Amino acid sequence: MSPRQAGPGPLLSVAGLTTVFEPPSGRLTAVDGVDLDVFRGQILAVVGDSGCGKTMRSLSVLGLVPPPGRVVSGRAVFAGRDLLALSEGERRAVRGARASMIFQEPMTSLNPVLPIGEQVAEPVRVHRRASKREALGAAAAMLAKVGLPDPARVLSRYPHELSGGQRQRAMIAMALILSPQLLIADEPTTALDVTVQRQILDLVSGLSRDTGTAVVLVTHNLGVVAQVANAVAVMYAGRLVEDAPVEAFFEGPAHPYGQGLLASLPRLADRGRRLSAIPGMVPSLSRLPSGCHFHPRCPRAFGPCAGEVPPFFPLPDGRRVRCWLYA
Asked whether position 324 contacts ligand SF4 by CB under 6 A, the answer is yes
Residue 37: beta bridge partners?
Answer: 13
Q: How far, in Å, CA of 131 to CA of 315, rounded?
A: 53
Q: How far, in Å, CA of 327 to CA of 324, rounded?
A: 5
Residue among 44, 54, 310, 320 that touches ligand SF4 (CB under 6 A):
310
Residue among 39, 103, 294, 312 that touches ligand SF4 (CB under 6 A):
294
CB of 295: closest distance to ligand SF4 in angstroms?
A: 4
CB of 299: closest distance to ligand SF4 in angstroms?
A: 8
CB of 176: closest distance to ligand SF4 in angstroms?
A: 38
Asked whether position 234 contacts ligand SF4 by CB under 6 A, the answer is no
8 A C-beta contact, residue 31 and residue 53: yes
3-state class (DSSP) for residue 270 = helix
Region of 19-27, 49-57, 112-120, 300-308 interacting with ligand SF4 (CB under 6 A): 300-308
**Per-residue interface string for the shown chain with ligand SF4, residues 247-286, x marking contact by CB under 6 A:** --------xx------------------------------
Asked whether position 295 contacts ligand SF4 by CB under 6 A, the answer is yes
Asked whether position 325 contacts ligand SF4 by CB under 6 A, the answer is yes
Q: What is the number of other CB atoms lying within 10 angstroms of the CB of residue 93?
A: 14
3-state class (DSSP) for residue 156 = coil
User: How far apart, in Å, are the Cα atoms of 188 and each of 37, 41, 197, 220?
Assistant: 21, 18, 9, 11
Region of 141-149, 163-171, 265-273, 319-327 interacting with ligand SF4 (CB under 6 A): 319-327
Which residues of the shown chain bind ligand SF4 in the complex (CB under 6 A)? 255-256, 292, 294-295, 298, 300-301, 305, 310, 323-325
